[in-house]
């Protein structure tokens, strides 16, 4: 089907508009991180009168950003790994086995995505407080508690998407593995997972991005010792001043791991999302 000229012009206009709409905020963020503070606080200019990398140096001293970076990396990585492991087994069971309550479980998992995350904040906080009171296990203000919190809203989507992806993998692969002497576990690990690599990458990227940039739960569930980057960026605003140039510089640095990871795994991410979405 050949594209008509009006459709082509419309497509170019829309793509150009969306590109400008996306690029301008990123440009402002990058260029503001290269300005002296007085230039950022003054009248806006598209190009700084003085280019300086001092904000990128000062941001590490103004706020313990390196410590927050480590906290975010640990929490996001562990939450991603656990979410991926649990989602693999749960979604494989949904896709390959018939068991009592299968439809109810699948519906319940998917329905949790209909609720805003803020509704889970108070219940989770009270559960963690009661666990500490009754069992002496401290979860509020710890990385462990934050990891468990992130699992509550990354797992449902991960299970749903992987189940759809596993449905698209021919069952003949499982049967061929059984003929070769593989049990269910070995067939999953050696045959199904390599075929499901795009779906696994998509789930991993989603879980990591969700944990890396989350603010609300991290603000409540962390203390000064284990703050994450998303919360730590707020500390550049003090009672006497707001270091806008350092906030912009820190935002650029914080975005680098996500951007690099997405660019490296972009093909697998898109393929995984597409395959999981049509099932």
For the chain, how big is the Rg over CA atoms in Å?
A: 23
Q: How many separate helices (H) and strands (E) can be counted in the chain?
A: 15, 0
Count CA within 13 A, CB hemisphere, residue 138. 5
Q: How far is CA 150 from CA 10, 105, 231, 266, in A?
A: 41, 20, 15, 23
Question: Which domains, from first to last, does the chain contain?
Answer: 63-236 (1.10.3720.10)
pLDDT of 277: 44
Distance CA 128, CA 164 (A): 33
At 201-234, the pLDDT tens digits run 888 888 898 899 888 899 888 888 889 998 888 8
What confidence tier does 185 reach under pLDDT thresholds 50, 70, 90? confident
Q: Residues 152, 120: contact at Cβ < 8 Å?
A: yes
- How far does Cα 50 stand from its chain's mean position? 35
pLDDT one-digit tens code per residue, 52-110: 899 999 999 999 999 999 999 999 999 999 999 999 999 998 888 888 888 888 888 77
* 273: nearest Cα among 206, 194, 193: 206
Please enumerate in sequence order all residues whose Cβ is within 8 A of that of 266, keeping only pairs 6 or more positions apart, or say none. Answer: none
Phi, psi dihedrals of residue 79, rounded to the nearest 5°: -60, -40
Distance CA 154, CA 100 (A): 25
């Amino acid at each position: 089907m050949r594209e008509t000229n009006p459709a082509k012009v419309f497509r170019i206009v829309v793509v150009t508009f969306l590109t400008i709409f996306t690029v301008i905020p990123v440009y402002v963020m990058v260029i503001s991180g290269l300005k002296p503070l007085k230039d950022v606080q003054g009248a806006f200019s598209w190009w700084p009168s003085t280019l300086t990398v001092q904000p990128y140096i000062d941001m590490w001293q103004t706020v313990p950003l390196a410590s927050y970076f480590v906290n975010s990396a640990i929490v996001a990585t562990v939450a991603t790994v656990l979410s991926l492991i649990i989602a693999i087994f749960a979604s494989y069971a949904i896709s390959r086995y018939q068991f009592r309550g299968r439809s109810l479980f699948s519906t319940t998992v998917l329905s949790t995505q209909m609720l805003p995350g803020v509704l889970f904040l108070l219940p989770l906080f009270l559960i963690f407080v009661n666990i500490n009171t009754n069992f002496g296990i401290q979860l509020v203000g710890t990385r462990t508690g934050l990891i468990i919190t992130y699992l509550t809203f990354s797992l449902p989507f991960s299970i749903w998407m992987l189940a759809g992806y596993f449905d698209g993998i021919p069952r003949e692969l499982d049967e061929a593995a059984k003929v070769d002497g593989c049990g269910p576990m070995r067939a999953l690990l050696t045959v199904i997972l390599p075929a499901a690599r795009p779906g696994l990458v998509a789930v991993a990227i989603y879980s990591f991005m969700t944990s890396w940039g989350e603010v609300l739960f991290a603000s409540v569930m962390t203390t000064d010792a284990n703050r994450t980057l998303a919360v730590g960026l707020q500390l550049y605003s003090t009672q006497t001043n707001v270091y806008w140039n350092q906030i912009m510089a820190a935002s650029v640095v914080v975005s680098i791991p996500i951007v690099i990871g997405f660019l490296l795994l972009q093909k697998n991410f898109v393929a995984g999302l597409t395959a999981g979405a049509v099932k």
